Amino acid sequence: MNEKGFLNLSFLKNISLIWKILIVILLVVLIIPLIVSKYPIAKYIIMIILGFVIYGMVGEAFGNNILTFIIVGILLYFIVWKYFYISAAAFLLYFFLISGFMSVFVWGTARFGR
């Protein structure tokens, strides 16, 4: 009880910070199927978010014309409908990357891991 933190995981004490962060990210990514199986509406919410992200990226590349809607439709079928769990996990990793959670890998953890 005298240690910092609230989890006493003795097997993680000798692991560097990079490996701890990778383990946490892996657990967060693997929790998506559990959330979807517990709350089915979460699947549709994640699908809508992925649809908006795909449309935003394709719209920036091709503008607002018929080619954009054709490419968005094809990508939505394959990315959102057919390979949902893989794309949701990849989107979560992408979200971590753009929001700064993975800046530890960019700046390094040499002084934090010792």
Task: Give pTM, 2 decimals.
Answer: 0.67
The whole-angstrom separation of Cα 57 and Cα 28 is 24
In this prediction, residue 103 carries a pLDDT of: 63
Q: How far is the C-alpha of 101 from the C-alpha of 21, rounded, in Å?
A: 9
**Residue 80 CB neighbours (<10 A):** 20
The rounded radius of gyration (Å) of the Cα atoms in the chain is 19
Mind listing the pLDDT tens digit of every residue in the chain (114 residues)? 555 555 556 666 677 777 777 787 788 788 888 888 899 899 999 999 999 999 999 999 998 899 999 999 999 999 999 998 888 888 887 887 777 666 655 555 545 544
Angle between helices 84-99 and 17-38 (to 10 degrees): 140
Return the pLDDT at 9. 60
Query: Which of 104, 48, 102, 55 lies closest to 80, judged by CA?
Result: 48
Q: Can you give the pLDDT at residue 59?
A: 92
pLDDT score recorded for residue 77: 95
Check residue 37 and give its pLDDT: 85
Give the domain ranges of the chain: 39-102
Q: Strand ranges (DSSP E) for 11-85? A: none
Q: Which residues contact 71 (CB under 8 A, 6 or more apart)?
A: 58, 62
